[in-house]
Every structure is written in structure tokens, then in C-alpha cells.
Amino acid sequence: MHPDIKALDDQFDAVARDYASLVDGLDERTGGWRQDPASWSVAECLDHLATANRAYLDEMTPAAAAARAQGRTRRGPATPGFFGRLFAYTLDAPPKAWSKSRAPKLINPRQAPSFGDASAAFARAHEDVRRFLRENADLDLAGITYVNPLARRLRPSLATGLHVIAAHERRHLWQAWNVRRAVN
């Protein structure tokens, strides 16, 4: 495994471990608890991540398949360019005061999803992202673009998308941990 792919896989592995610790011992009541009506519960944080991951994968998967059909194999490391790195940085944990914003409608969590359902949805979506990385590690991830589902005019690289997903997952797991600490 190339070092850049291993580094990404390690990031996703760390997220999986953090998620497992986060949900350990939570039940429907504590997983669905909100600190105030305007904030998200742990379940809503997980549902948001599942929805966002699915939206990104729905655009990234066909781009990877088309590139594979064209024989666009790895030419260099799967690293984002300057703007991709900046975007991933703005989404990472902890949130920067200047980077806080409301989630786009497309990836809003469902209203009060069950904790069990949201947790399972995130676990599946997260594993799908990891599978996508492993199955496409031989492609030119830094050179293949896809349509950003949240800003359709943007065409980031698959490498950028993977780094953005990892940062976004860390951000909302951080948020979910804050909710869990408050409920206890």
C-alpha cells in the first residue's frame, strides 16, 4: 500500500475507533438527547455524516468507474491541491470559529432519527468510504475529478473528496462527543 493511501486508511481507521468508543454504552434516550432544541443529538450527528458520505460517494463512484474504464491509473500521491487542503482544514475538528456554518439541505440529518438506525447508517457509509479508497487506490485519485454534490459547479479530485470526508467525520464525531459529555 502506498504511504499516502495508508495515511488515508489510517485516518479512516482512527475515525472507526473513535466512533466505536463514542457509541459504546449509548442507548436510544442518550443517543437522541439534545442539549438544546437548536443543537444536534449524537444520532443526528451520525445521521448527518451518513447522509454526507452517501452524497459524496454517489458522485465519486461513477467518476472512479469511468476513470478505470479509461485506464487512468495512479500517477502520484492521493493528495489534494491547495484549495482542497484548505477546504478539508475548514471542515476538520475542532471547528474553527470562522468556519462554522449550517449544513446544506442535501446533507441535513433527519429530524430525530433513532439512535440505532443513525448509528448503523453511519457505520455502513463509513465502511463504504473505506472500501471505495481500497478498491480505487490504483487510480490517479489526485487527477480524477467528480461533481461536488454540494456545489455542483466544483470539480474536486477524488483525493480531495476522500480527505474532506475524513475531516468532516472527525468534526462531527468531535461534536457528538461534546453532546455525549453533556448528557452524562
Average pLDDT, the chain: 94
Q: Domain 3-183: which topology?
A: Four Helix Bundle (Hemerythrin (Met), subunit A) (1.20.120)
pLDDT digits (tens, 9 = 90+) for 63-75: 999 999 999 999 9
Q: Name the burial class of residue 119, with classes exposed (0-12), middle (13-18) and buried (19+) by CB atoms within 10 angstroms of its CB.
A: buried
Structure-model confidence comparison of residues 100 and 56, the more confident one: 56
What are the grid coordinates assigned to 38, written together? Answer: 437548536
For position 20, what pLDDT does the model report? Answer: 98
pLDDT surpassing 90 at residue 141: yes
Contact yes or no for 141/75 (Cβ under 8 A): no
Domain boundaries, the chain: 3-183
pLDDT class of 112 with cuts at 50, 70, 90: confident
pLDDT class of 177 with cuts at 50, 70, 90: very high
Average pLDDT over residues 44-60: 97
For position 106, what pLDDT does the model report? Answer: 83
For position 102, what pLDDT does the model report? Answer: 79
pLDDT surpassing 90 at residue 101: no
Q: Name the burial class of residue 184, with classes exposed (0-12), middle (13-18) and buried (19+) by CB atoms within 10 angstroms of its CB.
A: exposed
